[in-house]
Structure 1
Amino acid sequence: MARHRFTRTQKSLNSQMNVVPYIDVMLVLLVIFMVTAPMMTTGVEISLPAENTKSIKQSDLPVIISLQADGTLYVSHKNAIDEPMDLVALDGLLRQLYAENNELQVMLNADARNPYSQIMAVMARIQQAGISQVSLLSETKPTK
């Protein structure tokens, strides 16, 4: 049969995998990792404390300060439970307890409806008494 100018020729199929696109992708990933690797190692080097495994003794129980929505304060400590108190008396009590135990922990339990300024006023009194270990108590949401 004569070959015409517009006839198609049947080429054999190439069954080998073309790896050129895979090499291109790998080179792009290599460049991305080379650029981002130095960024991941930058930062401030700090020394983390070791795990504290000492048990809490009765004298090391924390002071719990409860701030209700109307602004009234109640303090629970080793000598009293839910003792009503104002900010001036709280300052004196915290200084006294801190003088007895310089590792005193204070936990602040504030109502969600309290203004931020009231909570910060109580935290400022705690800080003025020299106490650095302050925690904020929160309520966990019930799981379904």
Structure 2
Amino acid sequence: MARRKLSSEINVVPYIDVMLVLLVIFMVTAPLLTQGIEVDLPKTQSQTLSSQQEPTVVSVDTAGNFYLNRGEDTEAPLSEAELSRRVAILIRNQPDDLILVEGDGKAEYAAVAKAMGVLQGAGVKKIGFVTEPAELQR
């Protein structure tokens, strides 16, 4: 009676199938997880920032309303005092954190400047602007 030799190989094809399905699921759901309000960003030629953590974004819409996008409910606009209070709390925990200002392209310059003033008054040391890349003209 002949003994069968045991096979010590692992069939990895089912694991590859599962990984491809997970990859497709994450590729489809990742763009849907965008939070915040819809603003029409101005187009400029600038370099992108690389960051390891989710940035704090202060949005200014066309009516001049302020929104703080930090993973919380951004449905209701914030007053200057409430924006200053919330940003001061964030800066107290992380003093060197970068705060991005996302102003609508049709928003008044005074509203975006007011948002910057509120951020500086709250103690923010690093402020950046969010823009979309400009189309290369030929």
TM-score, L = length of structure 2: 0.56
* Distance verdict in 2 for CA 1:69–1:62, change over 3 Å: same
Number of aligned residue pairs: give it.
87
Structure 2 equivalent of residue 137 of structure 1: 130
Superposed displacement of residue 72, structure 1: 1.6
For residues 45-60 of structure 1, the aligned pairs below 5 Å read 56=52, 58=53
CA distance in 2, matches of 1:88, 1:55: 28
Q: Which amino acid aligns with 2:127?
A: V
CA distance in 2 between partners of 1:141 and 1:117 (Å): 23
Say whether 1:119 aligns with 2:115.
Answer: no
Change (3 A) 1:114 1:63: same
Gaps of 5+ in 2: 1-49
CA gap 1:83/1:134 in 2 versus in 1, 3 angstroms = farther
User: CA–CA distance in 1 between the matches of 2:93 and 2:126?
Assistant: 15
Which of 85, 96, 113 is residue 89 of structure 2 equivalent to? 96
Q: How far apart are residue 83 of structure 1 and its match?
A: 5.0
Aligned residue in 2 for 1:87: 80
The residue type paired with residue 91 of structure 1 is S
Q: CA deviation at 1:101?
A: 1.0
The ranges of structure 1 where at least 4 consecutive aligned residues each deviate by more than 2 angstroms after the TM superposition are 81-84, 141-144
Give 1:80 deviation, angstroms: 1.2
One-letter amino acid matched to 1:99: R
Equivalent position amino acid for 2:124 in 1: I
Q: Which has the higher contact order (CA 8 A, sep 6+)?
A: 2
The match for 2:100 among 107, 110, 121 is 107
Distance 2:123 2:107 in 1: 24
Checking the alignment, whether the CA contact within 8 Å between 2:88 and 2:122 is kept in structure 1 is yes
User: Alpha-carbon deviations, 1:45-65, whole Å to 9, x = none?
Assistant: xxxxxxxxx962x4xx32101
- Corresponding letter in the other structure for 1:89: E
- Cα pair distance change 1:143/1:120, threshold 3 Å: same
CA–CA distance in structure 2, aligned partners of residues 124 and 137 of structure 1? 17
Q: 1:65 aligns to what? A: 58
